[in-house]
Amino acid sequence: MNRERRNALLLFSGLAAAYAAFRIAPGFGREELVLQDIEDPAGFRRLTAGQSSSGFDPFVGLEPQKNNDDLEAAKVRVRQNICAALYYDRPTTAGEVPVASFSDYYCPFCRVQTKRLAEMEARQEGEIRVSWHELPLLGETSTLAAKAALAARNQGAYPAFHERLMRSPFRATPEYLQALANDIGVDHARLVADMNSEEVLEDLENSAALARIFAFVGTPAMVIGRTVVQGEVSERTVQAIIKREREEGWGSVCRVA
Amino acid sequence: MSGGLKGRMAPLCSKVWHVIATLFAISVSASLVAAAETESFSNPAVEARLITAENGVGPDAASISAGLHLQLGEDWKTYWRSPGEVGLPPTIDWTGSENIAETDFLWPAPERFTAFGIENFGYHDEVVFPIRITLENPGAPARLEARVNLLTCSTVCVPQDFDLSLDLPRASGIDTDSATLISAFAARVPDEGGQSGIGIEAAHLDAERLALTITVRSDRPFEAPDIFPELGEGTAFGKPDIRLAQGGRLMWARLPVLAATPDLPDLRVTVTDTGRAATLQPAYAEVAPDPPFRIAASVPGLAELAWIAGIAFLGGLILNVMPCVLPVLSIKLSSAMKSGDQSPARIRAGFAVSAFGVLAFMWVLAAATLAARGLGLSVGWGLQFQNPVFLAVMIVVLVIFAANLFGLFEITLPSSWQTRMARAGGGQGYGGDFATGAFAAILATPCSAPFLGTAVAFALAGRAVDIAVIFTALGLGLAVPYLVVAAFPRLVERLPKPGRWMVVLKIVLGLALAATALWLFWVLAGVAGPDAAAWTGAFSLGGAALLALPRLSGRLRLSGAALSSVAAIVLAGYLSEANTPAASGATDWAGFDRAAIARHVSTGQTVFVDITADWCLTCKANKALVLDRDPVAARLREPGVIAMQADWTRPNETISRYLESFGRYGIPFNAVYGPGAPEGIVLPELLSSDAVLEALEQAGAGQVAAAR
């Protein structure tokens, strides 16, 4: 047989086999995302695969209903610039997809989701940026935990607080807060004072208003770029949405405001 | 369509209702027909209502048996009084009720939900919380105003807050349905050890508050026990390590303490088992009770060791015909044939050295295993196949070997090399023989995992002696063909003389090597990502192609190929992705819980069990080719199907016992349970989509039948 031709043939079949192996290698399949545009706020869309959120009274919390006027005022406030409210008005580099995470320290699946997002953010620096929203729906202790975490932010200790609260049960006693402040190294007196500060309350109102606007029925919830996700979803799905947002350019919706 | 149906049904219904109403009117006063339950509060997560066993307050009745009846939607859960690390128990505020002195809310025994390492305790499907209501004025009418708060979660947590009210006029009589429902769930409320026959022998919390250890005794064997200690709101426990002994009548459990508060209340422990439960308040013991048996440090008897060594030996022998090892043996034999003029003594020595090479590699592996374990690293079998650089080296070597067998080039070493090699072996170098043996052993490791799961798991858990014995037996088994030739060197002469068939054989063996290289390439794509695999593949093929170019000078070809090979290896390491997100499975695997299988099946769900381990490459292949791909992946994600996965990377007594119950001692192991197959359908080691789908269909069949 012609030696050179045989060489070429073998090389070619080798390459073909390598290509075939490539195609069947794991993880090449793309996640099918089922997305549905929502009317209000315009430009956003909802992940509809999986959990159905219809049939619930929108947004019941276990706490006595907050002052409705405040909430309406907050809705008007956040509607002025939804993206800024969602993603905390921080500059975002191209290719970085913002994720707004809404969670409650007493909700089991929030713990799962929050841990997952925090890990992803650490691992994919420059690709994902998470802004954490406190959405305490499960009563007084939830609200106190959320306030404590937001108050800790004033002393730059939000991540530490967040991590700690996600690891252990929160108990709303003065002794517990004292011990927690000591462990994390924040000023206890200032923390307690800040828990009912205007800033913290407004932050909670903003998150609650956003939750109303996006019609969340519970926690956890996320807005990734312009995609609204209710409930805990797998990392694969989150990655697929992030990829899609990056490809399509999530920024379009934010300039509309 | 349903409206039409209703329309047609209406006349019939009204007739039936008429009869029922007449019958009721005869037996009880007509005003009581719907008195024993409230309107229900309903949404997709939960349907809730308040029920009472009595139709109303009877004459002189001092108490009422009520119940909060929750019908949870599919996949929705609600929580126990101690919900676990996070969560919220249901609460009822009775403000506004009339003629109520006291209410006693009872908690049926909970079940454990584990999601992504978070432990929760609660209820799914249906639950009734029995409520004992003491009346202020016996015999007087009462009104129940319940403001219910509860948390329901599926993948989203939705708080529920609703009012239920119920008027209880003066009336006698029992609502049988409600009474049955309440008493069924009242029977599930843990007792204090009387009926259930459960008693706590000892409980111990160590001074550092790291773990709670409890021993529980029962008058009858435990079936599927679980344990739920409570130490106040701020304290959370991890998953218990439960071990049964004394014919299942003694349970030993250790629970890690995840968080604890400085001031702990009295310990309360709830023990549940099939059909019974008890809540007990034990005093602390001074010392922690010893576990009934140790899992990791099992000291095997001599007979057991010999048995396992036998399995390892046999396994080693079988490995010779595995596609990844066979070519090595064949190369060795064909090289012996080619140089047919060799003296029997030389052949004997050569094969003996090869056998020694096999053993030497096994001993190196045993030593490495011991060293790694000494450093506290997790040890797995075939771990080196997770290292991209190792994989790249193997691919390069295999591609060049295969190219050589295809006759693309002849390896002609520079004369200086030849003389050096000749000198090293006293005229006939043994280095090559030794390398052949070691190479066979290296290639054998991934193939051995499926066959030798038990032996290897045993070895990794065992003492140094066990490891040495098992690895030696494995090596001896693998070396048997070499030893046979070494013992009877004349066997080589019996082989047919070289001729045209040799060319064919070389092509066949070359194909086997190429297939192995291809497989390793696929493993590399999985381990290091597509980029690293692509570059490694391209450069190793490029190296072989360079060698095959006849026009280039030998030196140029050799150095070019060497450069290309180095590039292939370096790039594999350099481009490897630390963690490929794409590799994370689409299926949300639940942790393996043998006890839960029957529970899930009893609620009509189908359970798919996958036992895997890091060192099991066949398992990885199953995962990548079948389990993580549609249609199987989609099927496993469907509601009503629970995918459970157990990791056998480290020895685990529970998993071993589970496998033993099927007469299996190694993995991959997959089984499907369901209403149609409560005992489980065991799938073959190498999965196919059809087999999995068919088993799921068969297991779920009872469900369809039941629904009809």
CB contact under 8 A, B86 and A111: yes
Domain ranges of chain A: 1-29, 31-256
The answer to whether B149 and B160 are in contact (CB under 8 A) is yes
CA dist., res. A29 & res. B582, Å (int):
9
Name residues 83-112 of chain B within 8 A of A (Cβ): 83-88
Task: Tell me: cis bond preceding B631? Omega within 30 of 0 counts.
Answer: yes
CB contact under 8 A, B157 and A56: no
Closest C-alpha among B702, B698, B705, B691 to residue B631: B691
Strands B590-591 and B641-647: parallel
Label residues A36-63 b or e (16+ Cβ within 10 Å = b): eeeeebebbebbeebbebeebeebbbbb
- The pLDDT, as a whole number, for residue B527 is 66
Name residues 20-49 of chain B within 8 A of A (Cβ): 43-45
B7 — pLDDT class (breaks 50, 70, 90): very low
| Most confident region among A92-101, A209-218, B629-638, B693-702 by mean pLDDT | A209-218
Residues of A in contact with B522 (CB under 8 A): 21, 24-25
- The pLDDT, as a whole number, for residue B398 is 76
Residues of B in contact with A10 (CB under 8 A): 403, 406, 408
Residues of A in contact with B585 (CB under 8 A): 236
CB contact under 8 A, A104 and B157: yes
Chains A & B: contacts with CB separation below 8 Å: 177
- Across chain B, mean pLDDT equals 77
Among the partner residues A11, A21, A25, nearest to B541 by beta-carbon distance: A11
Q: A257 or A61, which is more confident?
A: A61
The answer to whether B74 and B222 are in contact (CB under 8 A) is no
Task: Tell me: cis bond preceding B108? Omega within 30 of 0 counts.
Answer: no
Which three-class secondary structure state does DSSP give residue B255? strand
B582 touches chain A (CB under 8 A): yes
B112 — pLDDT class (breaks 50, 70, 90): very high
Among the partner residues A106, A167, A236, nearest to B88 by beta-carbon distance: A106
Mean pLDDT, to the nearest integer, of B504-520?
77
Centre a 10 Å sphere on the Cβ of residue B542 and count the other Cβ atoms it contains. Answer: 19
Closest-CA residue of chain B to A56: B43
H/E run at residue B647: strand B641-647
Closest-CA residue of chain A to B577: A123
Q: Which CATH architecture has domain A31-256?
A: 3-Layer(aba) Sandwich (3.40)
Cα-based distances in Å from B622 to B39, B688, B708: 51, 8, 35
CA dist., res. B673 & res. B669, Å (int):
13
B28 — pLDDT class (breaks 50, 70, 90): very low
Q: In a mutagenesis test of the A interface, which of B78, B150, B156 is the best target, namely the one with the most A β-carbons within 10 Å?
A: B156
pLDDT tens digits, one per residue of B55-99:
888 888 899 999 999 999 988 999 999 988 788 899 999 999 999
B511 touches chain A (CB under 8 A): no
The answer to whether B43 and A55 are in contact (CB under 8 A) is yes
- The pLDDT, as a whole number, for residue B499 is 65
Indicate if the pLDDT at residue B228 is higher than 90: yes
Which three-class secondary structure state does DSSP give residue B128? strand
Residue limits of CATH 3.40.30.10 in chain B: 585-707
CB contact under 8 A, A51 and B155: yes
CA dist., res. B416 & res. B429, Å (int):
14
Mean pLDDT, to the nearest integer, of A22-46?
67
- Please give the model's pTM, rounded to 2 decimal places: 0.53
Topology (CATH) of B198-280 = Immunoglobulin-like (2.60.40)
Amino acid, single-letter form, for residue B107: W
Residues of B in contact with A29 (CB under 8 A): 629-630
If you search the block for the tokens 């290309």, which residue do you land on?
B564
B270 — pLDDT class (breaks 50, 70, 90): very high
Q: B499 or A85, which is more confident?
A: A85
CA dist., res. B564 & res. B562, Å (int):
5
B628 touches chain A (CB under 8 A): yes
Query: How long is chain B?
Result: 708
Centre a 10 Å sphere on the Cβ of residue B3 and count the other Cβ atoms it contains. Answer: 7
CA dist., res. B36 & res. B42, Å (int):
18
CA dist., res. B272 & res. B278, Å (int):
7
B543 touches chain A (CB under 8 A): no
Residues of B in contact with A233 (CB under 8 A): 155
Topology (CATH) of B585-707 = Glutaredoxin (3.40.30)
Task: Point out the least confidently predicted range of B493-497, B668-672, B702-706.
Answer: B702-706
Indicate if the pLDDT at residue A20 is higher than 70: no
Mean pLDDT, to the nearest integer, of B511-526?
76
Indicate if the pLDDT at residue A4 is higher than 80: no
Residue limits of CATH 2.60.40.1250 in chain B: 34-186
Amino acid, single-letter form, for residue B293: F
Q: Which CATH architecture has domain B34-186?
A: Sandwich (2.60)
Indicate if the pLDDT at residue B583 is higher than 70: no
CB contact under 8 A, B88 and A139: yes
- The pLDDT, as a whole number, for residue B185 is 94
Strand ranges (E), B579-640: 590-591, 606-612
Which three-class secondary structure state does DSSP give residue A248? helix
Q: A39 or A187, which is more confident?
A: A187
Among the partner residues A14, A25, A105, nearest to B525 by beta-carbon distance: A25
The answer to whether B674 and B606 are in contact (CB under 8 A) is yes
A24 — pLDDT class (breaks 50, 70, 90): very low
Residues of B in contact with A162 (CB under 8 A): none
B235 touches chain A (CB under 8 A): yes
**C-alpha distance across the termini of chain A, in Å:** 71
pLDDT tens digits, one per residue of A150-189:
998 888 888 888 888 777 777 767 778 888 888 888 898 8
Q: Which residues pair with B150 in a beta bridge?
A: B160
B642 touches chain A (CB under 8 A): no
The answer to whether B299 and B465 are in contact (CB under 8 A) is no
pLDDT tens digits, one per residue of B413-465:
445 554 554 444 444 467 777 877 787 777 676 555 545 555 665 666 566 77
Q: Predicted ipTM?
A: 0.74
B324 — pLDDT class (breaks 50, 70, 90): low
Mean pLDDT, to the nearest integer, of B5-13?
42
- Across chain A, mean pLDDT equals 78
- The pLDDT, as a whole number, for residue B127 is 95
- The pLDDT, as a whole number, for residue B10 is 42
B156 touches chain A (CB under 8 A): yes
Mean pLDDT, to the nearest integer, of B247-254?
88
Centre a 10 Å sphere on the Cβ of residue B517 and count the other Cβ atoms it contains. Answer: 27
Q: Which two tokens stand for residue B494?
A: 């019996």
Among the partner residues A15, A55, A176, nearest to B43 by beta-carbon distance: A55
CB contact under 8 A, B85 and A112: no
CB contact under 8 A, B158 and A7: no
- The pLDDT, as a whole number, for residue A40 is 81
- The pLDDT, as a whole number, for residue A57 is 59
